[in-house]
Amino acid sequence: NAGVTQTPKFQVLKTGQSMTLQCAQDMNHEYMSWYRQDPGMGLRLIHYSVGAGITDQGEVPNGYNVSRSTTEDFPLRLLSAAPSQTSVYFCASSYSTSLGSGGYTFGSGTRLTVV
């Protein structure tokens, strides 16, 4: 049971390049989310999904796209990378947001630098 797997762990992009951050979970969780965390800051929600085929915007969705074609995978696409997107990106999943469900399980993060 691998939990939430994020790839790559580190990435350097040039301004204007595009890329996809991969996220996969093997726990059959319905809920999945992408967050970004800047130095000394909290986590800001980019996009989230409550099930396959359903996605919605979070607090900071601009410049990012997501899709949820399967329960397991929730890739995050950067359309045209900008230095402001330099951050650590976390993917998370949960089977429920009900009391005692254990909340979100987070991946280990992808550290992205845009130069």
Closest CA to 32 of 4, 64, 9: 4
CB of 58 to another protein, least distance (A): 6
Among 11-19, 20-28, 54-62, 73-81, the segment contacting another protein (CB under 8 A): 54-62
Among 10-18, 20-28, 55-63, 73-81, the segment contacting another protein (CB under 8 A): 55-63
Closer residue to another protein (CB): 14 or 40: 40
Where do we find the tokens 């005692």?
100
Q: Please, is 88 exposed, middle or buried when counting C-beta atoms within 10 Å of its C-beta (0-12, 13-18, 19+)?
A: middle
| DSSP secondary structure letter of residue 83 | G
Closer residue to another protein (CB): 74 or 107: 107
The answer to the question of residue 43 lying near another protein (CB under 8 A) is yes
Query: What φ, ψ does residue 85 adopt, rounded to 5°?
Result: -90, 5
* Tokens read off for 82: 């900008």
Binding site for another protein (CB under 8 A): 4, 31, 33, 35, 41-45, 48, 50, 56, 58-59, 90, 92, 97-109
